[in-house]
Chain A
Amino acid sequence: MRTRLAFVAGSLAAFVAVSAPAFAQKQGGTLRISHRDNPPSASIHEEATISVVQPFMAVFNNLVVFDPKEKVNSPDKIVPDLAESWSWNPDQTKLTFKLRSGVKWHDGKPFSAKDVKCTWDALIGKADEKSDLIRKNPRKVWYSNLKDVKVGSDTEVTFELGRPQPSFLSMLAAGYSPVYACHANGRDMRSKPIGTGPFKVVEFKRNEAIKLVRNPDYWKKGRPYLDAIDWKIVPNRSTRMLGFVAGEFDMTFDSDVTFPMLADVKAQKADAVCEARPSNVNTNLLVNRDAPPFDNPELRRALSLSLDRKAFNDILFQGHALNGASMLPPPAGVWGMSKEMLESMPGFSPNRDKNLAEARAIMEKLGYTKDKPLKIKVSTRNIAIYRDPAVILIDQLKQIHIEGELEPIDTTVWYTKIQGKKYSIGLNLTGLGVDDPDTNFYENFHSTSDRNYTAYKNPEVDKLIEQQSAELDREKRKKLVWGVEQKLIEDGARPVINQNAANTCWTPQLKGVLLQHNSIYNGWRFEDIWLDR
């Protein structure tokens, strides 16, 4: 009898031991991650780089958020965050959120609808004079259709739009759209921000480290699992990689491991979990259409025909980058053109020899030969990820009798230089905060945008952009989006070379990591991640 009891107890214990890892997430532990550079500030609304979003998204909450359990961000996979529910009015111009109650800011003050109003008032420039919550706003175009934010009660807030805009909810669901506290000031938000999120900022030491600790009063019960997150800023990538391999870090920075480096990391740390995914950052060309020589449309055509996208992809991504226009192609992307459609576009045909022959014929017709090449400067930002493709581009241009010289431009003056049209070809990277046509088209190609720094202007495209933006039917809208894409390609607005891809690695002890495949800027709340140590 005794032995039997013991046996039963033993098997029960064995059962628990075996199955425990399957559901019981462990509480505690400090996650150590390497960071690639010094974030310009901690204020997500003021910045446009993953360097800020990845570490600080965990400090905040949005109204709504892309479902953290889904790999692909899509408009119908949006879940509540600080808003419990939302509804549109019949003509789709008023979006009302019912807010969670009992939520507290990290300093103990209660969260209310007023904070939502303050945040978006600041973003659309309607904040009162005294408020200094935000001193610069790189995403003005996201909210050009937002007319007003009205507080119904402490737990109800309504966004009033000028016209229907189905993308609006997607923008609010992005990592770039946290809710700020009304009572905070800009300087604090930039150096030691408060939020309602699962982690509190202990310290943001410039060039050194970012320390976050668990918010014990987080409104989502039982979260987060981690006690703390330690970000260490290590600007030298080889040191970062060595640190990860040596076990100093549990996780690499997002998309920090390029394909050529992946073999090395896997060889040194065989148990590392590495996931490749598109970053929704594309490499593209900026062509100065207003000055010789590229004011000549024929020359622009030769240029886009000459691009050997496969060679870029093979060298920089070992063939893992995606071929696409400015929207990320399916299946990772929601809005991109299909492969067949893309290959029918000028310059995207897989028949490289035919493209090259045509490009060369154009150049020779224009009077350029091997001995009498066209001499140009290829400008790019003086950062490795910009310079590397520029070096390849210069090499490829030789084939169509263009002799390019690299002009590395200090990051400080890059946009000023491009806006001032002091370049002929620029090599550029464009990242999308949300896989959404409105954010992309309005930001980069609409004539009124302040981030359309090539000053591309086509009234027809402007009209198409507005038309797709207001279209409520998803399938009809996709067709309009493809129409815009086709126009942009034909105009050579910003010829896309590759839709980039890269790897993120972590230790197998880190559980619950789910990378989102169409934006690196989303999905970094860290509340579902835990350490099995």
Chain B
Amino acid sequence: MGAYLTRRFLLMALTLFGMSVLIFVMLRLVPGNVADILVDSAGIADPKEKAKIARELGIDRPIFDQYIHWIGGLAQGDLGFAYVSERPAIEEIAPRIPISAKLAGLALFFSVILGVPLGVISAVRQNTGFDYFLRVLSLSGLSLPSFWLGLLILMASVQWFGMIPIYTNEPRSMIDELLLLSIPAAAVGFRSSALIMRLTRSSMLEVMRQDYIRTARSKGASQTSVNYDHALRNALLPVVTIIGIEAAFLVGGLIVTETVFNIPGVARFLVEAILWRDYPIVQNLVMLIAFVVIVVNFLVDMAYMALDPRIKYAD
């Protein structure tokens, strides 16, 4: 076990290192840098002024130096200075994390309370009309672009309620904030709930086909208790996995949803920072996302091991 963990941590560190190189190089392939943007956005293209700003920001130095500078700082917890706002990057990024985290948490919550029960029902009533209906519903969840869903929700809420659920800066209370976030969270969560439902359904079906369920049934346990008790408990294992993976991948859905609902979270910030070539922000945000994904994957594996004693990570 100890050896396994050591190996695992090494691999995680290696992956993060690879990510740092990848994002660093990719950003520098982008035509135009922040000095171009700052100067061009003022309607001038004065090479002297660009050079001055580039020197000030240190982006005229050799790429390797820049990389060492960034990664060295990162290792000491220093994220550097945001180019555009000229403030420490940490001050720009940190306040946005809880907002996205709350949104993602809510979305995940919705998708689980919707996805798991519907998946179970769908499996138990396999091949009935209701099952078909739920399957079509869940597939449509995978097919609707979440930004479109968001636009429709915005339209509808202005049309019918005369209000617009966009995020104001200081929601009066936590409840207010959660209420406000719940609408975009539903838009993001719809997709993951569909995924979770499908997986719950298929793993339920698999378990229900297995022998011990048949045995339990033949022993006279009632159909319902067998379905819900035995099958669900066993079927939940793969569901836990997908929930974990989905939690990390929600970030993709957050990007468009935060844009549509004007939520000042990290995902929308990433898009803006890319457009502004604000390297310190983009690099650190990408590293943050990669870190979350990797850690979640690790936790999922650990949970798997804890839940299923048959799985052993010996080496």
Contacts and interface: CB of A to CB of B under 8 A. Distances in A.
A and B are interacting partners: yes
B304 to A, nearest CB: 39
Given A208-B264, A243-B164, A410-B31, A416 B158 contact: no
Contacts, number: 124
B247 to A, nearest CB: 25
A245 interface: yes
B262 A236 contact: yes
Interface string A78-94: 00000000000000000
Nearest to B264: A208
B202 to A, nearest CB: 38
B36 A234 contact: no
Given A207-B269, A246-B163, A416 B40 contact: yes
A472 interface: no
A245 B33 CA distance: 38
Nearest to A419: B45
A300 interface: no
Contact of B53 (A135, A187, A206): A135
Interface stretch (B85-93, B100-108, B114-122): B85-93
B33 to A, nearest CB: 8
Interface in A293-315: none
Contacts of A190: 86
A9 interface: no
A191 interface: yes
Q: Which of A40, A268, A419 has the most CB of B within 10 A?
A: A40
B40 A235 contact: no
B66 to A, nearest CB: 19
Interface stretch (A46-54, A59-67, A384-392, A461-469): A46-54
Interface string B93-132: 0000000000000000000000000000000000000000
B223 to A, nearest CB: 50
A474 B43 CA distance: 30
A248 B82 CA distance: 30
Contact of B87 (A46, A191, A236): A191
Contacts of A232: 168-169, 262
A236 B259 contact: yes
A398 interface: no
B39 A234 contact: no
Contacts of B65: none
B37 A239 contact: no
B86 A187 contact: yes
Interface in A16-73: 38, 40-41, 46-49
A187 B56 CA distance: 12
A136 B164 contact: no
A451 interface: yes
Contact of B37 (A135, A206, A242, A411): A411
A234 B166 contact: yes
Interface in A237-251: 238-239, 242-243, 245-248
A450 interface: yes
B154 interface: yes
Contacts of B164: 239, 242-243, 245-246, 248
Contacts of B49: 135-136
B46 A411 contact: no
B32 A209 contact: no
A137 to B, nearest CB: 8
A413 interface: yes
A368 interface: no
A414 interface: yes
Contact of A415 (B40, B53, B264): B40
B260 interface: yes
Contacts of A208: 169, 264
Interface in B140-165: 151, 154-155, 158, 162-164
A216 interface: no
A209 B85 CA distance: 13
Nearest to A415: B45
Contact of A412 (B36, B86, B162, B169): B36
A453 interface: yes
B177 to A, nearest CB: 15
Which of the four size classes fits the interface of chain A?
A: 35 or more
B41 interface: yes
A40 B41 contact: yes
Contact of B36 (A41, A242, A413): A413
A412 to B, nearest CB: 3
Contacts of B46: 136, 450
Interface in B148-196: 151, 154-155, 158, 162-164, 166, 168-169
A89 B81 CA distance: 49
A413 to B, nearest CB: 5
A412 B40 contact: yes
Interface string B267-288: 0110010001100000000000
A131 to B, nearest CB: 14
A79 to B, nearest CB: 28
A445 to B, nearest CB: 15
Given A48-B43, A206-B85, A243-B166, A410 B32 contact: yes
B163 A138 contact: no
B233 interface: no
B44 A207 contact: no
B214 interface: no
A416 B261 CA distance: 34
A230 B170 CA distance: 12
Nearest to B41: A40
A206 B84 CA distance: 9
B28 interface: no
A412 B87 contact: no
B42 A136 contact: yes
A416 B277 CA distance: 16
Contact of A239 (B86, B169, B262): B262
A474 B52 CA distance: 41
B148 to A, nearest CB: 12
B158 A246 contact: yes
Nearest to B150: A239
Interface in B20-73: 31-33, 36-46, 49, 52-53, 56
A374 B208 CA distance: 69
Contacts of B269: 207
Contact of B151 (A209, A238, A415, A453): A238
B262 A40 contact: no
Interface in A407-433: 410-416, 418-419
Interface string A238-274: 1100110111100000000000000000001000000
A10 B92 CA distance: 58
A219 to B, nearest CB: 30
Nearest to B53: A135
Contacts of B261: 239
B38 A40 contact: yes
B170 to A, nearest CB: 10
12 contacts: A40-B41, A47-B41, A48-B43, A136-B52, A190-B86, A206-B82, A206-B92, A207-B268, A232-B169, A232-B262, A418-B45, A419-B45
Interface of A: 38, 40-41, 46-49, 135-136, 138, 187, 190-191, 205-209, 230, 232, 234-236, 238-239, 242-243, 245-248, 268, 410-416, 418-419, 450-451, 453
